[in-house]
Amino acid sequence: MTELSGSAALIPLLMLFPLAATIRQSWPGAERCGGRISNAVSGAGWLVPLIFVVPMCIGLMIAGRLSPLPQRSYATIASSHGPAAGLAVAIAVVIAELWLVLAPAMVVLRFSDPAQRTAMRALIPLNLFLGLGFLAILLLIWR
């Protein structure tokens, strides 16, 4: 087993910020968040690393290297790279799944023209359908 060094144990802690930012983007009441602390913890800046993380996680899921089930991904990575890496990857899987099933529709809805929001609301069930369908297919293939 390859254990990560002490400083690498900070990675799962750092992953909590993009997770908080993703949850904030997926939450219908996100417009009401705007305090200094909430911006520091879940501000849009924390979404930047996700440009790497989300496509990479999805690619690894397609290749069967990561499971859509975070606990399985944790077990896989923890056994080879240690618990800190396992936890970081499990958090990354949760983030990727939020971006697959809900976050994009909520972001589009929040920033769209108010006059078009009624038509846009249907994006939420579509996003859920596509995301959950994709994850279900992966689970069926790689079970």
Partner 1 sequence: MDEAFVKNVAEAIALFGFGGGILLLFCLIAEAFLRHREGLKPFSRETGHNYLFFPLGPLLEGVIANTLLIAGLTALWHLTPLRVAVNWWTLPLYFLVGELAFYIFHRAGHELRIFWADHSIHHSAETYDFTVNLRHTPFSTVYRLLTWSPLALLGFHPVVLVLMAINIPAFQTFCHTQRIGRLAPWFEWLFVTPSNHAVHHACNPIYLDKNYGGLLMIWDHAFGTYQRLEDSEPPVFGITRQPRSSNPIRVLTHEFRYLAGDVRAAPGLTAKLKVLLGKPGKTFQADHAPDPMVIERGLAGH
Tell me phi and psi for residue 43, to 5 degrees: -65, 165
Nearer to partner 1, 8 or 16 (CB): 8
Nearer to partner 1, 41 or 62 (CB): 62
Binding segment for partner 1 (CB under 8 A), chosen from 9-17, 19-27, 68-76, 125-133, is: 125-133
- How far are the Cα atoms of 51, 52, 64, 89 from residue 115, in angstroms, in the given order? 30, 34, 42, 40
Residues 84-123 as x/- pattern, contact with partner 1 by CB under 8 A = ---------------xx---xx-xx--xxx--x--xx-xx
The verdict on 130 binding partner 1 (CB under 8 A) reads: yes
Cβ–Cβ under 8 Å, residues 96 and 58: yes
Choose among 74, 82, 25, 77: nearest CA to 50: 25
Cα(137)–Cα(8) distance, rounded to whole angstroms? 33
Max CA distance (Å), the chain: 56
CB of 107 to partner 1, least distance (A): 7
CB of 64 to partner 1, least distance (A): 11
Block residue for tokens 């859920």: 128
CB of 82 to partner 1, least distance (A): 18
Structure tokens at 34: 């705007």
Q: Which of residues 7-66 bind partner 1 (CB under 8 A)?
A: 44, 51-52, 54-63
Which positions touch partner 1 (CB under 8 A)?
Answer: 44, 51-52, 54-63, 99-100, 104-105, 107-108, 111-113, 116, 119-120, 122-123, 126-127, 130-131, 134
